[in-house]
Structures are given as C-alpha cells and as structure tokens.
Amino acid sequence: MHDHKECKECMQFLALLSDYQDGELDLALVGKFEVHMGDCERCQAVVKTLRQTIVYYRTTRCTAVPRDVHSGLITALRACMDPED
C-alpha cells in the first residue's frame, strides 16, 4: 500500500470525488480512478463511506440538533480549522 496523504492520484481523486459519485466525470478519468481504487484501500474506504453517508442522509428522518450540541460542534470545528486559538 502507498502513502495515501502523499499520493498524487489520491489527491486528484479526492478533489473530484463528488463529480465521480455524481457520474459527471469523463469515462477515461473514471477508468483511471477505478484502477487506482483497485489498489488503494483508503480510497475504497472513502468512496464506501461517502456512499453510506448518502444512503443514510436519504433514508433518515431529519431532526433538529439541540442548541448545546450545535454550539459545541461549531466550537470544535473552529478549533480544528484554526488550532492556534
């Protein structure tokens, strides 16, 4: 297995993941990504997780997030984006 974070193909794949999932990529590029995924367990996991998330989103009833949970999530996300704070 290769280093997923340093792999140029992985980075290209992740940048176009939405287009891949939506069926909006050129067939030659789809073929290239599918060959890459055949050898890259991490990219396989990314695609599987995205597909499971989409299914979950489409089949789960939406409920409101409690205000304290929402506030905590926003705080945590901001801390991840700007770790110097």
Output the average pLDDT for the chain: 85
At 59-71, the pLDDT tens digits run 988 788 888 888 9
At residue 55, the pLDDT reads 92
Measuring CA to CA, how many Å separate 27 from each of 14, 32, 43, 46? 17, 9, 18, 20
Cα 44 to Cα 39, 40, 64, 65, 71: the distances in Å are 9, 6, 32, 31, 33
| Other residues' Cβ atoms within 10 Å of the Cβ of residue 13 | 20
Calculate what percentage of the chain has a pLDDT beyond 70: 88
Place of tokens 């940048």: 15
Residue pair 5/12 in contact (Cβ under 8 Å)? The answer is no
Domain ranges of the chain: 8-81
Confidence band (pLDDT; 50, 70, 90) for 84? low
CA distance readout (Å), 76 to 10, 28, 35, 63, 67: 27, 40, 37, 21, 14
The pTM of this model reads 0.60
2-25, pLDDT tens digit by residue?
Answer: 555 568 888 888 888 889 989 999
